[in-house]
Structure 1
Amino acid sequence: MSNFLEVIGKKAELHRDLKIERLQLGAEYMWLVYYDSVVNSQETIMFIWNSGITSNVSYDDICMRLAGKPWSPEAMSELQLGRVVLLHATGEQAFSFQGVPASLSRSIEKPENESMPFAPAVAFMEPLTTNIGLIRKTLNSPYLIAEGFTFTGGATKEASLIYHSEFVNKELLQQVKSHLQNASHRDLQTGQDLMEILGCSRFDLLSPFYKTEIPMQATSSLMKGRVILLIDGEPVAYVLPLLFGDFISIQWDKQLPLIIMFALRSLRLMSLLVSLLTPGLYVALVSVNPETLRIELALSVASSRIGIPLPTFLEMAFLLIVSEISIESTQRLPKSIAASITVIGGIVLGTAIVDAKLVSSLVIIVLSISVTATFAFPNYLNTLNLRIMRAVIVVLSSIFGVFGLFAGFIAICFYVCRIEHFGIPFMNFFDFKKLRQT
């Protein structure tokens, strides 16, 4: 290969979906270059033959029949928009024309678990090439790289590592590629498998990645220097690494004025504290340290607990378990049924429990505030870690009171501050030099 072919051949080493095929048209051999994530190759070849190709047709005639225009490697980004390049057998001439778009295995649907107002109603799908194509259409850049990886464990699994070569954190990229290359013989079927491949333990509370099903959210992470892992058969993108900012910020926030954006993120940060500390604080003040309450508030709490047979900790633990069961049941049911279960579990069951004098009305109020604050975060999966930490703090508060509450909170702060994935601290969000990019 020479000239244009050499340039494209080098790029094909970094783009797993960039294909170069030899094609005989008439009496001449040519090279067909395209991204199979955005172009249907079979239908494109049929389109070429149906354009009137004969045995004595020339290269210039083919260009005219396909409404092509001269092409050079400087216009490589055109291929991401669905154009196809035909190179002369010598590799010294080329023209491009519009290819037939790749068909999808199912229609593109709205995100099911994430919501962004006024964002494109597009979500990732199961085919790997389709997801790569969605990212290419969302972020049309010649610096967008999609490297391919194959895992040959119990079953062969294809994956693609996507990054922006101009913005990516070089140390992050090197470490992630090293982990993926060294694990090519391993099985990749679950998130726990991926955690081990990336050098983490299955027992880590915080994974080194977070999942998103919105291409716009994934591309915004690319522009901030992070990398994305797409796995064939999974309708999500794995964004590496997970940072604290992912709990309280989304790309859509930047559609709003700066003051409103910071107000929303501050509200989510406050919701995090409310969700994490409110149940434990109630248990600590009522059951262990009631002397810290004002006399009026202490009397109000005491009057609400008249006739309640359970201690405060068991009240809170019982309702926490019921709320978690309700949340999990609504996640697994169709939306039409899930809405009914939410009403039954939240209103009917809560009212019946209070009327039966099993728990006090104050516990219902505190738990409702905490659960509602939990879902103020952009990504539902990020709330799972928070719910586990909340249960730990409730247990410590029931044993040690306010001291246990603050000891548990400080321990969590120390834990998250020591987390580091691929050389990037989890609390990198508080690097004020990078705050404007978050």
Structure 2
Amino acid sequence: MKDMGIKKKRGNFPKQFNESMNSFPEIPLSPRMEENIEILKSAYQDCSDVVFRDFSIGSSEMKAVLLYIDGLSNTEVVDQHVLMPLIQMKDLEYDSILEIVKKEISVSDIKEIYTIPDVFKQVSIGNTIILIDEQSKGISIGLPKWEKRSIAEPESEPVIRGPREGFIETIRVNTSLLRRKIRHPLLKMKQMDIGGYTETQVIVAYIEGIADSALVEEVTNRLKRIKIDSILESGYIEEMIQDSPLSPFPQLLNTERPDVAAACLLEGRVVILIDGTPITLIAPCTFASLMQAPEDFYNPFYISTFIRWLRYIFFFIALLAPSAYVALLTFHQEMLPSSLILTIAGSREQIPFPALVEAFIMEITFEALREAGVRLPKQVGAAVSIVGALVIGQAATAAGLVSSPMVMVVAITGIASFLMPRYAIGISIRMLRFPIMILSGVMGLLGVMLGITTIVAHLCTLKSFGVPYLQSAAPLKIRNLKDILIRAPWWAMETRPEFYSNDASPLRRESKNQMPSPSKGGDES
């Protein structure tokens, strides 16, 4: 999205601001406070929530102004710990404005600012600004306060066994949740602002010494290259930094769970946190990671392995079941047992459509019901989707539009798609199911094999930040298969995945109190 220049002038707002509202020039603060206030009031014209509070510092009658946004700043603390001490000052024996603030204001987060854009930036994040006459710099006081959602279990990633906390829309709360999981100074968090108007805070988190420095640099460079007016959700960033934007497969893992993000950091991956959304992005992403659920690592390894195999089996059922049914009925009836083909033929005797059209009708109807259940209010959404599927399926069968076996196949396919642990891979399967159905209706099982071959070839060429998407199956690396088709016991997983991390040292060290150097990686999970 290209930045749009704004030509219309706003009062006495400087011309250079009007030409590009989202790329402010570095105009320094003037020693004349009236000039600074004139620029700021012109910029905040028709902004009823922006407060300018004129006052005098102590008995010296030194003019000053307090600037903050009502609703973003803690007004009670501003009144008690900022405004009142400055007004009640009896003498001014300090050499600089910063000394005045440090001596009289009991707030820890204080820093000097020197330009008009710095004022805009600090005010927009909830800080309070003090401007004093005859001073060519201002003071930013960190007193943000706004309403935020309480920490709760993510509804999109529920678990039976595991932590019940999830990320929220406030980025500093999210970083604190990660710090609680990984209590080590080698956990680094680089901050940048993206979006010409929103200036959304984005943090790149990684563990120094474990994450590959080239991966961290690549993620940071891709984020810096983003030129857009706004970042309102993580999907904006995901679409702009992935390797193959036209691929139907997700190339970044997303999660709302701090434990998942912490585990990925300990593997050597990079976590991207975005202010304003509970969804965090994880790079790189592989097909195997999309088929893993958090509970795989909390349950006994044999239970997790069984469930993971079940998940892979139903992955193929969700992708190929309708296509295989259409191919067998249309081209390969001889492959079915005689009794079964007679039963299916009897149920399809009054059906006016070929198997392909019948499958399309049922699949599209099922997807529409599923989407309607998501968009409806929570109290009625599930009931509508379930009852709607039953009623429509029964009515369609009774009316002779679809056969009972087709209803059963579509139902099994829908259930199989619910086993996918990640919504992103589930929606990819739902999309690819339709072109494979067309191929099966035109060429039979040959078309199904052609579709599978095309998908596998695409997956083999797909990469996520330089990591092959099918790693470690293609290219094959035996030592890294312990967490792909099986979940090996923890005592057998002694090294980190080498395709994520540049640290292949054991996860368990002799002494937990030993401080590792950056070359030896972080502590154990």
Scaled to the shorter chain, the TM-score interval is 0.7 to 0.9
Structure-2 residue corresponding to 1:435: 481
1:287-326 superposed Cα distances (whole Å, 9 cap, x missing partner): 1222322222221211111111111111100011001101
Q: Distance in 2 between matches of 1:235 and 1:416?
A: 29
Instruction: Name the aligned partner's letter for residue 478 of structure 2.
Output: F
For structure 1, the residue ranges without an aligned partner over 5 or more in a row are: 1-39, 48-99
| Residue 424 of structure 1 pairs with residue 467 of structure 2 | yes
Query: Does the 8 A contact of 1:220 with 1:251 survive in 2?
Result: no
Structure-2 residue corresponding to 1:165: 208
**Within-5 A mapping of 1:270-419:** 270-419=313-462
1:188-213 superposed Cα distances (whole Å, 9 cap, x missing partner): 34556424532545433123212211
Structure-2 residue corresponding to 1:58: none
Greater helix share, structure number? 1
1:321 partner SS = helix
Instruction: Name the aligned partner's letter for residue 388 of structure 2.
Output: G
Structure-1 residue corresponding to 2:225: 182
Query: Does the 8 A contact of 1:192 with 1:202 survive in 2?
Result: no
TM-score normalised per structure 2: 0.62
Larger Rg: 1 or 2?
Answer: 2
**By how many angstroms is 1:129 displaced?**
1.2
Aligned sequence identity (%)? 29
Instruction: Name the aligned partner's letter for residue 420 of structure 2.
Output: F
Q: Distance in 2 between matches of 1:153 and 1:364?
A: 51
**By how many angstroms is 1:429 displaced?**
4.3
Query: Does the 8 A contact of 1:305 with 1:360 survive in 2?
Result: yes
Query: Does the 8 A contact of 1:147 with 1:161 survive in 2?
Result: yes
1:381 partner SS = helix
1:84-129 superposed Cα distances (whole Å, 9 cap, x missing partner): xxxxxxxxxxxxxxxx9x9961211221211111222212111111
| Residue 112 of structure 1 pairs with residue 155 of structure 2 | yes
Query: Does the 8 A contact of 1:158 with 1:231 survive in 2?
Result: yes
Residue range with higher mean Cα deviation, 231-240 or 293-302: 293-302
Structure-1 residue corresponding to 2:20: none
| Residue 248 of structure 1 pairs with residue 294 of structure 2 | no
Among 311, 315, 320, the residue aligned to 1:268: 311
Q: CA RMSD in A?
A: 3.1
Number of residues of Structure 1 aligned to a counterpart in Structure 2? 353
Q: Distance in 2 between matches of 1:191 and 1:401?
A: 40
Instruction: Name the aligned partner's letter for residue 126 of structure 1.
Output: E
Among 271, 275, 282, the residue aligned to 1:232: 275
Query: Does the 8 A contact of 2:232 with 2:276 survive in 1?
Result: no
Residue range with higher mean Cα deviation, 201-210 or 387-396: 201-210
Q: Distance in 1 between matches of 2:459 and 2:409?
A: 26
**By how many angstroms is 1:253 displaced?**
1.0
Q: Distance in 1 between matches of 2:233 and 2:285?
A: 17
TM-score normalised per structure 1: 0.74
Instruction: Name the aligned partner's letter for residue 278 of structure 1.
Output: A
Q: Distance in 2 between matches of 1:343 and 1:181?
A: 45
Q: Distance in 2 between matches of 1:108 and 1:168?
A: 28
Instruction: Name the aligned partner's letter for residue 481 of structure 2.
Output: L
**Within-5 A mapping of 1:47-58:** none
Q: Distance in 1 between matches of 2:214 and 2:293?
A: 24
Instruction: Name the aligned partner's letter for residue 120 of structure 1.
Output: P
1:162 partner SS = strand
1:13-43 superposed Cα distances (whole Å, 9 cap, x missing partner): xxxxxxxxxxxxxxxxxxxxxxxxxxx9x97
1:406 partner SS = helix
**Within-5 A mapping of 1:7-22:** none
Instruction: Name the aligned partner's letter for residue 264 of structure 2.
Output: S
**By how many angstroms is 1:275 displaced?**
0.7
Q: Distance in 1 between matches of 2:312 and 2:171?
A: 35
Q: Distance in 2 between matches of 1:388 and 1:207?
A: 13
For structure 2, the residue ranges without an aligned partner over 5 or more in a row are: 1-73, 82-142, 485-525
Instruction: Name the aligned partner's letter for residue 280 of structure 1.
Output: S
